[in-house]
Amino acid sequence: MKFFLALILLPLVLLTACGRDINTAQGVAEEFVDQHYVNFDLPKAKHYAVSVALAKLNEEIRLTTGQQIDASTQKPKVNYKLLEKSESEKRSTYLYEGRIQSDDGTAFTRKWLITARLEGNQWRVSNFTESD
């Protein structure tokens, strides 16, 4: 019986351990990166943005209006890793390196600098930049 209970509980524990805490600066930054760069879901990325970041997202949405991204769209595979972080009580920055690979096998990397700040009692992305 203990064996079967362990089989049931182990996946639950692993799922909880792998979850992202969006109540932290890094959790919000990574959720933003996932929505913006991995899932290409700018409206969802807006949920985590304020200030300059929100203005940039609104401009990206304006520029891509009419360009449908859905299940039939060929999207590149995007993986990323954290290179550097600088955290403080009310502001944090994270430098990620993303690897973007298309279906034809070509790949390139980009760096994303994500700045998060504490807005009231929630962390939000206040700015982001991309570089080669």
Is 125 in contact with 32 (CB distance < 8 Å)? yes
Mean pLDDT, the chain, whole residue set: 88
- Given a cut of 90, is residue 79 above it in pLDDT? yes
| DSSP calls for 34-63 | IIIIIS--HHHHHTTB-HHHHHHHHHHHHH
pLDDT classification of 58: cutoffs 50, 70, 90: very high
The pLDDT score that the predictor gives to residue 67 is 83
pLDDT at 11 over 50: no
- The domains found in the chain, sorted by start residue, are 25-131 (3.10.450.50)
- Which of 126, 103, 107, 106 shows the shortest CA–CA distance to 116? 126
Q: Is the pLDDT of residue 14 over 70?
A: no
